[in-house]
Structure 1
Amino acid sequence: MANDDTQWYYNPASGQVAQGKELAWDERMGPYESEEAARHALETAAQRTQAADAADEADDNWGVPPKWEN
């Protein structure tokens, strides 16, 4: 993993991007490899949430319901 001082972080409260761990852990999203990637942190998080939700939904669908649910 790269040095944390060279990584980029996004502050969801202010919308600002900073290099290095300038903020407390609960005030930043990241790390990201570039400033541009950090600027898109909320979009990235939304995409990952959608993918995780889809995986959960697929995992919940086992196909044939149990006999007691018929």
Structure 2
Amino acid sequence: MSILKHEREKLNKTQKEVADETGISYSMIQLMEQGRRNPSDKNKVKLAMYYGKSVEYLFFNGTITNSD
């Protein structure tokens, strides 16, 4: 199960509710949860704020590395 789906289900929200409440399209929410689409940085931040989690936790498996 994806982290996004897990966090959504913890709030007892549907994908449609998350889409409506974040302004991210329903189809994008579906694709992100399936791991078939990477969101823009803007949408990563929206979802992190919505779920009260870090972008790192939601999208990078808790690991962000520095690059040049």
Q: With structure 1 as the length reference, what TM-score do the two structures score?
A: 0.25
**Richer in helix (by share):** 2
**Richer in strand (by share):** 1
User: In terms of Rg, which structure is larger?
Assistant: 1
